[in-house]
Structure 1
Amino acid sequence: MTAYPRPRRTATAVRVLPALLLVCLALTGPWAAPHALDTPVTGPYARPGADALLGGDQLGRDVLGRVLAGGRELVVSSLVVALLVTGVAAVLGAVGALRPPVGRLVERTADLLMLLPAVLGLLLVALSWPGGGRLAVVAAAVGLGVPYAVRLAAAAAAPVAATGYVEAAAAGGERLWHLVVRDVLPHLRATLLALFGLRFVAAVYVVATAGFLQVGPQPPAADWALMIRENGPGLLLNPWAVLAPGAAVGLLAMSVNLAAAALAPGTGRKAVTAR
């Protein structure tokens, strides 16, 4: 039994490290860009060379520098969306489990909102928001994510709310907020960590879709999704202008999801090990 904790910690660190490195690289990338982001350094769609290690984009700008600088807003926006969605869904799910009439109302509302196609909802919110921009995309992503997340949170909170100690606390006159914060949510840590990872992945793709549709960041901003849209016509001339930002989006979503799963309590693994 004593031989397992260290390998488990090592395995967890191995799964968390890529996410930390990618997030740190995305946040600090603008300062690591080798050239000015909007200054052409080579010919349009030029192949990789000494002046541009990943070649040039449609205007001859350094692809590597724009990839390094293009992930910060995506990471920040996705983290904000994932935190808001997970927090709102956790509270609504716990309240719904403790107050069944409220829970039924929340579930019916979530069912209705889930009928709205994601791209249509994104366009409706982003285009009708005053000024549009990144805040509109974040608001749309939160609104699209909560209905899916709240169903999972409510399903996880229901058996906790039905336990004897929660019922005893409720019978003893504890307030609803105390029951939610002190008695229900602490027992949902594994579910909420996994939910955070899933919602981060969903947020990455929603925010990236907004960039691709140009309802979020606008040219000449350095943005991974916007780079894919702008450089699509030159894919055969310099594929790195499309492949590099596309790979960055996929690796970011996958690594953060793996990190969230690794940080979740491994009760199932412990049970198997003990046996």
Structure 2
Amino acid sequence: MTAVTAFGQSVRLPRRATVLRTAPALLLVALAVAGPRLAPHAVDTPVTAPYAAPGGAAPLGGDQLGRDVLSRLLAGGRELVVTSLLVTFLVVAVAALLGAIAALRPAIGRIVERSADVLMLLPAVLGILLITLSWPGGGRFAVVAAAVAMGVPYAVRVVAGAAAPVAASGYVEAAAVGGERLWHLVVREVLPNLRATLLALFGLRFVAAVYVVATAGFLQVGPQPPAADWALMIRENGGGILLNPWAVLAPGIAVGVLAMSVNLAVSALVPESGRKAVTAL
């Protein structure tokens, strides 16, 4: 009985902890995606006085035009979540391929790493402005391109460092000597052994993507008024923070909680055997 109990605890408790750590992220992402349907008022229709205090038809008060802060908060997270997830998938995918190739082909690796070093020196805000303002038409695709360009250099250095010992292992060298092509080595030999690193990197890059996308919205090079967007809400209502603090605090807290909860959830999904390999991230 004791052995069974000990065994049961060793299996169930980690699963329960994983569920508890992933549940907030899943709930928040689901709420952000479904938020526009849950908004009690139209996001562009005034329902109260400008910067009105919470109460009545506006539980979180009104913004600078008297629109319901709660409705705009519920409707303003979907684009941020979807864009950040898209950026994160692209960054991790590109970095995984480039990092694995860099580890397998040292000559290419030196070019990739030096290019990454140069791009990492570019300040994030300057990079966002350069890319989004030069992109034809601007908009969401420009923000995605800017976020990917700013995220890949760091990510590729991390993947290349993690892939180097894998590329030097005996089974990879044997496959290379056996005549396997580069893409086979990358996809079948190297990347499957970097699952823990890539998963942890996904969490970190999602946090970075959220802040890059939010920064673009704050700079008004992404979504434009009167769109409901958390970053735009912070920018638009900064002047009235003393009148109705929730118009600024609510979207700010939402951005921070989203980033932290997703990163916590991803870290909980990293396999136990691979956590020592990602502590340097």
Give yes or no for TM over 0.5. yes
Structure-1 residue corresponding to 2:47: 41
Task: Letter of the 2:215 partner, please give it.
Answer: T
Structure-2 residue corresponding to 1:221: 227
Shift of 1:4: 1.0
Picking from 203, 212, 216, the partner of 2:218 is 212
Shift of 1:269: 7.2
Over aligned residues, Cα RMSD in angstroms?
1.1
Secondary structure of the corresponding residue to residue 61 of structure 2: coil
Q: How many residues align?
A: 270
TM-score by length of 2: 0.94
Secondary structure of the corresponding residue to residue 251 of structure 1: helix
Q: Deviations over 1:208-264 (max 9, x none)?
A: 000001010000000000000000011011000000000000000000000111111
Secondary structure of the corresponding residue to residue 4 of structure 1: helix
Secondary structure of the corresponding residue to residue 55 of structure 2: coil
Secondary structure of the corresponding residue to residue 27 of structure 1: helix
Task: Letter of the 2:241 partner, please give it.
Answer: L
Q: Deviations over 1:130-160 (max 9, x none)?
A: 0001100000000010000000000000011
Query: Does 1:203 pair with 2:213?
Result: no
Query: Does 1:149 pair with 2:155?
Result: yes
Pairs within 5 Å for 1:1-275: 2=7, 3-267=9-273
Q: Distance in 1 between matches of 2:130 and 2:115?
A: 19
Q: Distance in 2 between matches of 1:161 and 1:183?
A: 8
Task: Letter of the 2:266 partner, please give it.
Answer: A
Structure 1: runs of 5 or more not aligned: 271-275
Secondary structure of the corresponding residue to residue 189 of structure 1: helix
Structure 2: runs of 5 or more not aligned: 1-5, 277-281
Structure-2 residue corresponding to 1:273: none
TM-score by length of 1: 0.97
Q: Distance in 2 between matches of 1:93 and 1:268?
A: 18
Task: Letter of the 2:11 partner, please give it.
Answer: P
Task: Letter of the 2:22 partner, please give it.
Answer: V
Q: Distance in 1 between matches of 2:216 and 2:157?
A: 25
Q: Distance in 2 between matches of 1:4 and 1:267?
A: 15
Task: Letter of the 2:88 partner, please give it.
Answer: A
Q: Distance in 1 between matches of 2:231 and 2:272?
A: 35
Q: Distance in 2 between matches of 1:126 and 1:42?
A: 35
Sequence identity, in percent?
77
Q: Is the 8 A contact 2:234 2:252 kept in 1?
A: yes
Which 4+ residue blocks in structure 1 deviate beyond 3 angstroms?
A: none
